[in-house]
Amino acid sequence: MIRLACSMLAGLARLLRPEAKVLRMSESKDENQSPRAVPKGRAKPRSGGRNSVYPIPVDRLISELNRLPGIGRRSAERLAFHLLKSPKDDALALAAAITDLKQAVRHCAICFNLTDTEACAICDDGRRERNKVLVIEQPKDLLAIEQTGMYRGLYHVLMGRLSPLDGVEPVDLTIASLLGRIGDPSKNAGGEAVTEIILGLNPTLEGDGTAMYLHDLLSEKTDADGRLRVSRLARGLPSGGSLEFANKAVLADAIAGRQRM
């Protein structure tokens, strides 16, 4: 019985061995030829292991451009080849502009707008109404409001909005600096006291939440000395628009924010 079992085991081992050998052979074949790694018609990897036909500097530029928002691989290649063809001075001027941007541009010490000096051009402008501060999310919002030419006060850029789901809390925004400006006139541009805060956050769920948070925070200050006025930008129907084409949210805001005539 024991002898029979031993011979069965030996037979099984003989049966398995050739299969194992075939498997090892096929694996080594895959390793040498890698039929899936390099499909027909595509460039073979270089000796350095890169799967590209371009020189390393071209590849590097393409992958850097590809990381920019809205720039896909094809667009990145097109831009890289455009730069290769353009005069050397033009390409170097672009490189110098990027270097200057990262070395010279920073946030204004008072309002967090972009600047290349200590205080931005708006905070520095003595003709502006320095008692008014319009609170916005990003420096690009400031640009949009400036283009209307309707506002002559100062700004405060929050550098984002509260978003508990993404882990953005009050300490991640410039709220403490805003409160500092309100509480201490020497921290505001021109040393002038802030008497009006206008909340200009985006009309989104998170923007509204941030505006509510700031409103509650600032209301406490209003109660304490009674001099701070807090308002928010009006919403509703745009001039020249018509009711039938306005979306539901715009109409709802227009009704909620109706004005006495």
Size of the site for Zn ion (CB under 5 A): 6
Q: Is 201 a binder of Zn ion (CB under 5 A)?
A: no
Smaller CB separation from Zn ion, 180 or 236: 180
By the 10 Å C-beta count (0-12 exposed, 13-18 middle, 19+ buried), 109 is classed as middle
Smaller CB separation from Zn ion, 189 or 218: 189
Residues 107-126 that bind Zn ion (CB under 5 A): 108, 110-111, 113, 120, 123
Find the shortest distance in angstroms from Cβ 119 to Zn ion: 5
Smaller CB separation from Zn ion, 108 or 173: 108
Q: Which of 150, 146, 148, 175 is nearest to 160 (CA)?
A: 175
Q: Is 174 a binder of Zn ion (CB under 5 A)?
A: no
Smaller CB separation from Zn ion, 113 or 177: 113
Smaller CB separation from Zn ion, 111 or 134: 111
Q: Is 157 a binder of Zn ion (CB under 5 A)?
A: no
Q: Which stretch binds Zn ion (CB under 5 A): 18-26, 34-42, 59-67, 105-113?
A: 105-113
Find the shortest distance in angstroms from Cβ 46 to Zn ion: 51
Give the residues lining the site for Zn ion (CB under 5 A): 108, 110-111, 113, 120, 123
